[in-house]
């Protein structure tokens, strides 16, 4: 029997709520008979704001409570930013819908400088992402890199407060929150790589709930699924977690896929880069191939810190 109500588990940050509401309205439009409700909740990851994510257990912290709600029957699905998902899904869960990707670029945000090159010598840049730190260090070894965690709004407030000369955020998140005007310049591939899965919103549900999957199928974007499958396969092969600086960017053309991958070292700004092309039917094989190329360049030493 097809469900008549779908309850969406979501975190309560402004970005998470926007994304859950976005999925809800797409579902209501696709299925006029369906009731769709949000079930907002707080996760461990939202509560611990004073420590780097890597030190407190990583990305799974933002998912656990939402997955428990699905297991308990308090929610039917959960909406996430794909880049916040661990490389490996929890057993019994699937991603029945991957939405069309937004702008995957990172954003340079500053009240004083127009872009990275314009920052004064020794300027203070805030980001807790090791991937962003490594690429900042590579481009501008002189910069002072400072930790910065919290929701998008919190990070912007700390910038405006004068704690930093610039910060780096995802363009997609700023656009969703109506903060497009905060983007001073875009940090774009191939010179700057986003996180695997950046700018893709995904819907998670229990594997066994086939009727829920049927309702969600209409939201799935085949091209985005191909691109992020390659990026996530690469990240997974590299042992990907948020404790390692990994960037990935896959483009999809009629004749095939093109994947670029990066493993970096935040402390030195050393970057290993690799790229390869593959076919539409084997995005994971392409991800593995680029991971192998990075290992051949010595990625293991960087990944093991
Ligand atoms: N780590 C938080 C997070 N998770 C997803 C996004 C942006 C939206 C997306 O990538 O879909 C952000 C904010 C940021 O990195 O600036």
- CATH number of the domain that 154 lies in? 3.40.190.10
Residue 199 Cα: closest atom of ligand 1:
11
pLDDT of residue 64: 86
Residues 15 and 148 in one domain: no
ipTM entry: 0.97
Domain of 125 in residue numbering reads as: 106-187
Do 212 and 82 reside in the same domain of the chain?
A: yes
91 & 128 share domain = no
Q: What is the pLDDT confidence band of residue 51, given thresholds at 50, 70 and 90? A: low
* Distance (Å, whole) CA 59 – CA 158: 23
Model pTM? Answer: 0.94
Confidence tier at 61 by pLDDT (50, 70, 90):
confident
**What pLDDT does residue 3 have?**
83
Mean pLDDT calculated for residue range 211-222? 97
Does ligand 1 have an atom closer than 6 angstroms to the CB of 83? Answer: yes
pLDDT higher than 70, residue 59: no
**Catalytic position from the list 46, 50, 72, 84:** 84
The answer to whether residue 109 scores a pLDDT higher than 90 is: yes
Ligand 1 contacts CB of residue 199 (under 6 A): yes
The predicted structure's pLDDT at residue 250: 98
Summarised one tens digit per residue, pLDDT across range 179-190 is 999 999 999 999
For residues 159 and 215, membership in a common domain is answered with no
- Work out the average pLDDT over 153-170: 97
| 84 close to ligand 1 (CB < 6 Angstrom) | yes
**Which phi and psi (to 5°) does residue 125 adopt?**
-120, 130
Question: Same structural domain for residues 141 and 161?
Answer: yes
Q: Evaluate whether residue 225 is within a structural domain.
A: no
User: Which pLDDT does position 44 carry in this prediction?
Assistant: 72
Please indicate whether residue 172, judged by its CB atom, sits closer than 6 Å to ligand 1. yes
* 122 and 149 co-located in one domain: yes
Is the CB of 103 within 6 Å of ligand 1? no
The answer as to whether 194 is a domain residue is: no
Q: Do 111 and 95 share a structural domain?
A: no
Based on the domain organization, do 92 and 216 belong to the same domain?
yes
Nearest CA to ligand 1 atom 9: 199
For residues 183 and 300, membership in a common domain is answered with no
* pLDDT range class, residue 23, cuts 50, 70, 90: very high
Query: 288 has which bridge partners?
Result: none
Residue 230: its H or E element: helix 222-237
H or E element in which residue 19 lies: helix 14-30
The enclosing H or E element of 123 equals none
DSSP calls for 82-95:
GGGS-SSPPTTEEE
Q: Which of 45, 82, 83 to mutate to test the pocket of ligand 1 (most atoms within 8 A of CB)?
A: 83
| pLDDT at residue 297 in the model | 97
Lowest model confidence (mean pLDDT) among 6-10, 189-193, 287-291, 300-304: 300-304
CA 26 to chain centre: 21
Mean pLDDT score of the chain: 94
Residues 94 and 113 in one domain: no
Examine the residue annotation and report whether 106 is marked as an active-site residue of this protein: no
Q: Number of folded domains in the chain?
A: 3
Q: Is residue 193 situated within a structural domain?
A: no
């Amino acid at each position: 029997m097809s469900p008549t109500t779908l309850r969406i588990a979501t975190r309560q940050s402004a970005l998470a709520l926007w994304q859950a509401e976005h999925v809800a309205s797409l579902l209501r439009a696709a299925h006029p008979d369906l009731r769709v409700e949000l079930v907002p909740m707080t996760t461990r990851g939202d509560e611990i704001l004073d420590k780097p994510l890597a030190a407190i257990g990583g990305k799974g912290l933002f998912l656990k409570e939402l997955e428990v709600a699905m297991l308990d029957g308090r929610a039917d699905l959960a909406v996430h930013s794909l880049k916040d998902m661990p490389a490996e899904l929890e057993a019994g869960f699937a991603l029945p819908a991957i939405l069309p990707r937004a702008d995957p670029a990172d954003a340079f945000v500053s009240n004083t400088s127009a872009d990275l090159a314009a920052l004064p010598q020794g300027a203070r840049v805030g980001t807790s992402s090791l991937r962003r730190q490594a690429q900042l260090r590579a481009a501008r070894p002189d910069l002072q890199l400072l930790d910065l965690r919290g929701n998008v709004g919190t990070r912007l407030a700390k910038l405006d407060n004068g704690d930093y000369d610039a910060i780096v955020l995802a363009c997609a998140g700023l656009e969703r929150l109506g903060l497009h005007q905060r983007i001073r310049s875009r940090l774009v591939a191939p010179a700057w790589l986003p996180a695997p899965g950046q700018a893709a919103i995904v819907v998670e549900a229990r594997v066994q709930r086939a009727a829920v999957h049927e309702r969600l199928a209409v939201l799935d974007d085949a091209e985005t699924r191909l691109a992020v499958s390659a990026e996530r396969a690469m990240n997974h092969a590299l042992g990907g977690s948020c404790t390692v600086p990994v960037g990935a960017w896959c483009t999809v053309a009629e004749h095939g896929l093109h994947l670029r991958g990066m493993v970096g070292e935040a402390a030195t700004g050393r970057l290993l880069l690799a790229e390869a092309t593959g076919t539409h039917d084997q995005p994971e094989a392409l991800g593995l191939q680029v991971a192998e190329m990075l290992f051949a360049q010595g990625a293991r030493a960087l990944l093991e810190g």
